């Protein structure tokens, strides 16, 4: 297996746009619904009508897969890259990777019609975000390159995705791209030849004296009695979703929510298989890391907290 770690601002640009389209996903992001409301006030009525359509999500997926198949310079401007896409023939935009998606039989004939709305998104929102966010994403890639020298391919994927364990028997390569807007959720796709992971990075600058969001995420995950019970159950061995649901006796949607929260906090690993249900595994290092993280923050008196 070969692992490629890459980043360009246009990936984060598409991720931010995709979050705005994803009503279900918005509830699971650190940005939350308040971010959606704030951004909406700067967008046109025509834009808001367009993004409410299911086919818009498909158009964005087509363009995103196309970008993943391309090579371009780190300094290429987002608007310039969108102009290049606009000049491509439609058949060129449909990559083999896209043909593996759930949308493969639902390709709108006018995919490039979404580009004017992408330009509006750039002007109204993406061009206004803190430059430090993009710089921190770039820095995360440098750190990932360092880890790549120390870990094998599957260990590297597990580390950067906070617990995704790929099948030992798989021959697929992996593409890893850091992202901020969907944090702490991991975006993932599986094609014939690749695993694609947009892994979360806490790239927003932290206010002085504030606890790291990663720490708060873990504390919140451990603040629920049922989630503690699930962790104790999984500490006994790997289990499928059905196993967990049967054990805890809650509705599937509730169990799904609890598992997402625990996964986002790095307390569970997701063990993938080629021909059977994936399983959840207690991730001891996530729990032990939390203890060290909390102690480090509380006892760090180098910076005086303003009150």
pLDDT in tens, 153-200: 999 999 999 999 999 888 889 999 999 999 999 988 888 889 999 999
What's the mean pLDDT in 133-142?
95
CA distance linking residue 279 with residue 148, whole number of Å: 26
Cβ(98)–Cβ(62) below 8 Å: yes
Query: Residue 304 pLDDT more than 60?
Result: no
Interior angle at CA 306, CA 302 and CA 307, nearest 5: 140
Query: Residue 247 pLDDT more than 50?
Result: yes
Q: How many Å is the Cα radius of gyration of the chain?
A: 20
* pLDDT band of 302, cuts 50, 70, 90: low
Query: Residue 284 pLDDT more than 80?
Result: yes
CA distance linking residue 113 with residue 55, whole number of Å: 11
Query: Residue 74 pLDDT more than 90?
Result: no
Query: Residue 289 pLDDT more than 70?
Result: no
Q: What pLDDT does 165 receive? A: 93
CA distance linking residue 178 with residue 161, whole number of Å: 9
Cβ(250)–Cβ(256) below 8 Å: no
Q: What pLDDT does 301 receive? A: 60
Least confident interval from 32-41, 245-254, 259-268, 286-295: 286-295
Residue 98 class from Cβ within 10 Å (0-12 exposed, 13-18 middle, 19+ buried)?
Answer: buried
CA distance linking residue 66 with residue 93, whole number of Å: 6
What's the mean pLDDT in 284-299?
75
Q: What pLDDT does 306 receive? A: 40
CA distance linking residue 118 with residue 244, whole number of Å: 41
Residue 218: name the closest of 283, 121, 142 by CA.
283
Sheet with 279-282: strands ordered across: 164-165, 268-271, 279-282, 239-240
* pLDDT band of 97, cuts 50, 70, 90: confident
Strand partners, 175: 4, 196
Cβ(195)–Cβ(242) below 8 Å: no
pLDDT tens digit sequence for 6-52: 999 999 999 999 999 998 888 889 998 999 999 999 999 999 999 99
Whole-structure pTM value: 0.89
Q: What pLDDT does 276 receive? A: 86
Q: What pLDDT does 208 receive? A: 76
What's the mean pLDDT in 292-303?
70
Q: What pLDDT does 305 receive? A: 41
Query: Residue 103 pLDDT more than 80?
Result: no
Cβ(32)–Cβ(38) below 8 Å: no
CA distance linking residue 18 with residue 150, whole number of Å: 33
pLDDT tens digit sequence for 202-217: 988 777 777 778 888 8
Cβ(240)–Cβ(277) below 8 Å: yes
């Amino acid at each position: 297996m070969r692992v490629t770690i890459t980043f360009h601002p246009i990936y984060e640009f598409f991720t931010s746009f995709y979050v705005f389209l994803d009503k279900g996903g918005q509830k699971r992001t650190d940005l939350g619904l308040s971010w959606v409301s704030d951004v909406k006030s700067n967008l046109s009525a025509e834009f808001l009508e367009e993004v409410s359509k299911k086919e818009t999500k498909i158009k964005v997926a087509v363009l995103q897969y196309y970008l993943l198949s391309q090579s371009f310079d780190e300094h290429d401007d987002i608007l310039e890259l969108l102009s290049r896409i606009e000049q491509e023939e439609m058949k060129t935009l449909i990559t083999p990777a896209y043909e593996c998606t759930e949308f493969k039989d639902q390709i709108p004939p006018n995919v490039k019609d979404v580009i004017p709305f992408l330009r509006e998104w750039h002007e109204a929102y993406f061009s206004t975000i803190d430059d430090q966010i993009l710089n921190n994403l770039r820095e995360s890639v440098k750190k990932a390159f360092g880890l790549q020298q120390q870990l094998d391919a599957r260990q590297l994927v597990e580390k950067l995705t906070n617990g995704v364990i790929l099948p030992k028997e798989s021959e697929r390569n992996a593409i890893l791209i850091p992202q901020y807007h969907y944090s702490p959720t991991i975006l993932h796709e599986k094609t014939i030849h690749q695993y694609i992971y947009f892994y979360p990075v806490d790239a927003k600058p932290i206010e002085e004296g504030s606890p790291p969001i990663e720490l708060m995420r873990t504390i919140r995950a451990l603040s629920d009695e049922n989630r503690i019970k699930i962790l104790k159950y999984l500490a006994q061995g790997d289990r499928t979703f059905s196993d967990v649901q049967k054990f805890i006796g809650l509705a599937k949607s509730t169990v799904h929510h609890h598992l997402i929260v625990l996964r986002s906090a790095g307390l569970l690993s997701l063990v993938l298989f080629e021909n059977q249900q994936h399983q959840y595994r207690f991730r001891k290092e996530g729990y032990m890391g939390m203890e060290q993280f909390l102690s480090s923050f509380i006892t760090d008196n180098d910076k005086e907290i303003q009150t």
